[in-house]
Chain A
Amino acid sequence: AQSVTQLDSHVSVSEGTPVLLRCNYSSSYSPSLFWYVQHPNKGLQLLLKYTSAATLVKGINGFEAEFKKSETSFHLTKPSAHMSDAAEYFCVVSDRDFGNEKLTFGTGTRLTIIP
């Protein structure tokens, strides 16, 4: 069975400082990993995806994530937070060997940006 654990339910950072959102995964097979962002009362937007081509993945809006197999981690980072980054972030895993039909979501990390 596959699962993800988002280690922080809430992260607060000051505008202009780095962002780190932590995620650990568990998967029996070769995983695909994603980060999605959800703004209030909106659907989910794909930030980035890992599919084994490169361990450092760059996404939209300056976000990136690094896949570390030895640590079973896929943490999301951004060098400098912007007010518009305030949202809920979800780490997501699917079993690539069985296709990406069924996504398993973490419980989310709410990111607050302090002006």
Chain B
Amino acid sequence: DTGVSQNPRHKITKRGQNVTFRCDPISEHNRLYWYRQTLGQGPEFLTYFQNEAQLEKSRLLSDRFSAERPKGSFSTLEIQRTEQGDSAMYLCASSLSGYNQPQHFGDGTRLSIL
């Protein structure tokens, strides 16, 4: 069990640029989740996948955000035309499906918009 891996750990970009983050879940986990955490707050749910299917998206996920999990393994989260308000920690988690399966989190990608 190598844990959930997220890359990059930190991303600094100018406003208006596009950014993409990657998440590699625990290998046997078929569910993958994205959360956003702003300073001093708890994480907020963005979206989740079961295998390659995106099953739920939060209203927080505006049209500038897109997430994919093309082969049911790793996932990417892209933000287009970044804004100051996008500055946050983006967390990925994975789990097995079924009741009472805990989510295991990666260390996150911290995004800073200049």
Contact = CB atoms under 8 A, between A and B. Distances in A.
Interface in A22-64: 32, 34, 36, 41-46, 49, 51
B100 A100 contact: yes
Interface stretch (A11-19, A73-81, A104-112): A104-112
A102 interface: yes
Contact of A46 (B31, B104, B106): B104
A106 B42 contact: yes
A84 to B, nearest CB: 18
B56 A102 contact: yes
B74 interface: no
A92 B103 CA distance: 11
Contacts of A115: none
Contact of A105 (B42, B55, B110): B42
A55 to B, nearest CB: 15
A44 B91 contact: yes
Interface in B49-105: 55-56, 91, 93, 95, 99-105
B105 A43 contact: yes
A90 B42 contact: yes
B4 A46 contact: no
Contacts of B93: 44
B21 interface: no
A96 B45 contact: no
B45 A102 contact: yes
B17 to A, nearest CB: 23
A88 B48 CA distance: 24
Contacts of A71: none
Contact of A99 (B99, B105, B107, B110): B99
B45 A104 contact: yes
Interface of B: 4, 6, 31, 33, 35, 40-45, 48, 55-56, 91, 93, 95, 99-108, 110
Interface of A: 32, 34, 36, 41-46, 49, 51, 90, 92, 96, 99-108
For the complex of A and B, list the 5 residue pairs with the smallest distance between their C-beta atoms, beginning with the closest. Answer: A105-B42, A43-B105, A44-B105, A51-B100, A43-B107
